[in-house]
Homo-oligomer: A and B are copies of this chain.
């Protein structure tokens, strides 16, 4: 159970947006929204291809939405059978998480009473990444002929488009194509469709019809009594990786048609099955949590790039052009743990994206007068920052509002260094340093070296004028999160230098010379000694989020929200309601407690969780998981469960924020999905992995009777079986040495093979 997400509601426009996100299919190269075949741009159909961005005029740069090759409409007596406008007797739409197949079945009733069923299955092939394969069937309960229009719709949904120009429908042999070019960099793109009919005899004829932006096959007078089925093989090719996208896409879809739908599906399903074999988490006693957690992992897997290390996962995944298709810290802090612990090669790819965009980060640092690498707040293909200085529109004046996301969220460079280090300690893969990681870490540390100031009166280094995770408080001084993370970057920098020197001495010498880094290494070591870390107030144990935070207005969240004059008014920015109060957007100190778990006592965690929880608006999908993680650790299992479910269901319920100011930010929330995995594994299951080893302190909700999951730790696959009575760890692959493990704060040793079983008293 728990594998199939089924929607049977009658469709309303709001459902269509939600299901478009929720039922998305993808293979890390293409993402296709969970819309119906008869839909067009009004219903937000989208085919997003990884790493292809475009900018029109002075609008925002964003991903390109390719022509929609999955387009099919059935016409009965001149009327399109459309789920939104037709009479729908039954409708079901589903996503099989196990196989990543989208399916729909709709029973229409026509004006004359005849009932026609449309059924379709599709998947973005994990074996052939350019392909979306579809099976499409139409059946009537009486004798009946329909026209079927299938083809490629180049009239696409855009937020800041149109991004495609020279759109050209082409017919050649049995393949139809739409090719076009992007506006900014004139990248050629092509979408092609090959088609196979199961019962070709039922076809009385096929016309090819081209319009300005569209190409269709018009299958005329198809007899659908007893059913009519065909297969669409849609291929997508872009000039970033192909010298002739049109020809390549034609060839690819023809080859797929030759393989045939069933074999393609089998190969695709097999690959997904292997993935699930590695990562599935089985929860007994809680079907909804089971579904939500698998749903979260599915969404991460559907969009993770495996074909290249030059792209990463955007904040809204592949669900559209929202947030400019940009990569934020979401990836490093909230998505990477899943990949690092389960699919380290995918994590490695995602990390090396930051190496491929290092020059963009250098350019940004230089632009602001700093040295090293100041990573983009919103990173696209080049690493240059897509974030604008005016990122929100004031709902009261309709004017652009100056925000400091781009300028002041300097923690991004430290987040990246943190993720590299976590990857290294979890996998033991030192080659990441040789292959780009060291350069990323060195340049990030160097950026902070040039950003930090010395306070001569207090004899300490301080980090001034930054914005932490809580974006409602911009331009603050000594943000606890940032200061802690920058110190960590400095530590990592020193350790990576040592590691590189030991393991790859030539690379070390090369980098020291090329980067002229030796003097800076000394400075970094000195700065680290005197870098100020805000202390907790001795009386309350509360750590101030930044200098002066605790003297801001201490207003209840409810009161603050009652002050709103407009439902979408932005709480941060220049005059935002939250900026002058202690109300925060998202976990900031509490996230610090999680990231630096070993540096804070349980008492400190408990006090700060209590303090900040009531002051957090959770205006970001990144917030809930931190509160879940710390709640689990301090023994508040109910809260941990509540926040786990909040993050795990964000795209199931579709209750996430859709507007900030006047800006549409709907879409999927892969960081929330990653947060669900973290909350489940690190939080409720209490599995902590650090460079010092592993600890397990389960905090299972009362109704969870058992959890089974597997992780990789330094190359060894471990299977955990947790109940309220025991913890069992089985080594699925042999290790070189025994592994010390702390279980419920008692020390044990996991032998190189076999199982360690510890009862919980």
Interface set of A (CB-CB < 8 Å, partner B): 370-371, 389-390, 394, 396-397, 399, 401-402, 449-450, 452-457, 461-462, 464-465, 475, 477, 523, 527, 563, 565, 573-577, 579-580
* Chain B residue nearest to A523 in the complex (CB): B456
A465 surroundings in chain B (CB, below 8 A): 464-465, 477
Q: Give chain A's interface secondary structure class.
A: loop
Inter-subunit contact B449/A453 (CB<8 Å):
no
Known: A575-B573, A579-B402. A457 touches B464 (CB 8 A): no
Whether A397 pairs with B456 at a CB distance below 8 angstroms is no
How many copies of this chain sit in the oligomeric assembly? 2
- List 29 A-B residue pairs with CB atoms under 8 Å apart, sorted by A's residue number: A390-B580, A394-B575, A396-B397, A397-B565, A397-B575, A399-B563, A399-B577, A401-B575, A402-B580, A449-B456, A450-B457, A452-B456, A453-B453, A453-B454, A453-B455, A453-B462, A454-B456, A456-B523, A456-B527, A464-B464, A464-B465, A465-B465, A465-B477, A573-B574, A573-B575, A574-B574, A574-B575, A574-B576, A574-B579
The residue of chain B having its C-beta at the shortest distance from the C-beta of A449 within the complex is: B457
CB distance from A401 to the nearest CB of B (A): 6
Shortest CB distance A465–B (Å): 6
Distance between A402 CB and nearest chain B CB, rounded to angstroms: 5
The docked-state distance in angstroms from the alpha carbon of A270 to that of B606 is 77
List of B residues within 8 angstroms of A452 by Cβ: 456
**Closest chain B residue, CB of each to CB of A547:** B369
Closest to A452 in B: B456
| Chain B residue contacts of A401, Cβ below 8 A | 575
Interface centre among A453, A454, A527, A579 (most CB of B within 10 A): A453
Chain B min CB distance to A575 (Å): 4
Residues on the B chain within 8 Å of A576, using CB: 574
- Chain B: minimal CB distance from A170 (Å): 45
Query: Which of B397, B453, B475, B575 sits near A475, CB closer than 8 Å?
Result: B475
Q: How far is the CA of A573 from the CA of B579 in the complex (A)?
A: 13
A394 CB contacts on chain B under 8 angstroms? 575
Those 9 A-B pairs whose CB atoms lie nearest each other, nearest first? A574-B574, A453-B453, A574-B575, A454-B454, A450-B457, A396-B396, A402-B580, A575-B575, A454-B456
Q: Which residues of B contact A527 (CB under 8 A)?
A: 456
Contacts of A371 in B (CB 8 A): 457
Complex contacts, A462 vs chain B, CB 8 Å: 453
Chain B residues lying within 8 Å of A370, measured Cβ to Cβ, are 457
Q: Which residues of B contact A399 (CB under 8 A)?
A: 563, 575, 577
Complex: A88 Cα to B398 Cα, angstroms: 50
Chain B residue at minimal CB-CB distance from A407: B548
Q: How far is the CB of A173 from chain B (nearest CB, A)?
A: 55
Closest B residue to A454 by beta carbon equals B454
Chain B, residue nearest A577 (CB):
B399
Instruction: Kindly state the separation between the CA atoms of A455 and B462 in the bound complex, as whole angstroms.
Output: 10
Residue contact A575 to B523, C-beta cutoff 8 Å: no
**How far is B401's CA from A527's CA once the two chains are assembled, in angstroms?**
38
- CB-defined contacts of A461 to chain B, threshold 8 Å: 456
A453 touches which one: B464, B523, B565, B575 (CB < 8 A)? Answer: B464
Bound CA span A393–B399, Å? 18
Query: How far is it, in angstroms, between the C-alpha of A120 and the C-alpha of B448 when the chains are bound?
Result: 73
Q: How far is the CA of A527 from the CA of B575 in the complex (A)?
A: 36
CA distance A461 to B455 in the complex (A): 10
- Give the chain B neighbours of A455 by CB distance below 8 A: 453-454
User: Whole-angstrom distance between the alpha carbons of A452 and B457 in the complex?
Assistant: 8
Residue of B nearest to A526 (CB): B456
Question: A575: which B residues are within 8 A, CB to CB?
Answer: 394, 397, 399, 401-402, 573-575
- Residues of chain B within 8 A (CB-CB) of A523 are 456
Residues of chain B with a CB closer than 8 A to A577's CB: 399
A11–B717 Cα distance when bound, in Å, is 93
Q: Smallest CB–CB gap between A226 and chain B, Å?
A: 66
Report the bound CA distance from A399 to B461 in whole Å.
Answer: 37
- Distance between Cα atoms of A449 and B577 in the complex (Å): 34
Q: How far is the CB of A367 from chain B (nearest CB, A)?
A: 10
Determine the distance from Cα of A477 to Cα of B465 in the docked complex, in whole angstroms: 10
Q: How far is the CA of A401 from the CA of B573 in the complex (A)?
A: 12
Chain B neighbourhood of A450, CB < 8 A: 457
Q: Report the bound CA distance from A462 to B451 in whole Å.
A: 13
Rounded to whole angstroms, the CA-CA distance of A693 and B455 in the bound complex is 39
The answer for the CA separation of A397 and B570 in the assembled complex, in Å, is 13
CB distance from A463 to the nearest CB of B (A): 11
Q: Which residues of B contact A390 (CB under 8 A)?
A: 580
Assembly CA distance A401 to B475 (angstroms): 17
Complexed CA–CA distance, A394 and B577 (Å): 12
Residues of chain B lying within 8 A (CB to CB) of residue A396: 396-397
Question: Measured between alpha carbons, how far is A302 from B449 in the docked complex, in Å?
Answer: 57
**Which residues of chain B come closer than 8 Å to A464, judged between CB atoms?**
453, 464-465
The complex places the Cα of A390 from the Cα of B461 at a distance, in Å, of 31
| Further pairs besides A399-B563, A449-B457, A456-B527: 4, Cβ < 8 Å | A371-B457, A399-B577, A401-B575, A465-B477
* Residue of chain B at shortest CB distance from A398: B565
A325 to chain B, nearest CB (A): 26
Q: What's the nearest-Cβ distance from chain B to residue A188, in Å?
A: 36
Shortest CB distance A680–B (Å): 40
> Measured between C-beta atoms, what is the minimum distance from A248 to chain B in Å?
44
Chain B residues, Cβ within 8 Å of A397: 396, 565, 575
CA distance A527 to B461 in the complex (A): 17
Q: How many angstroms from the CA of A399 to the CA of B327 in the assembled complex?
A: 36
With a CB–CB cut-off of 8 A, which chain B residues contact A449?
456-457
- Shortest C-beta distance, A58 to chain B (Å), equals 13
Bound Cα distance from A382 to B122, whole angstroms: 77
Q: Which residues of B contact A389 (CB under 8 A)?
A: 580
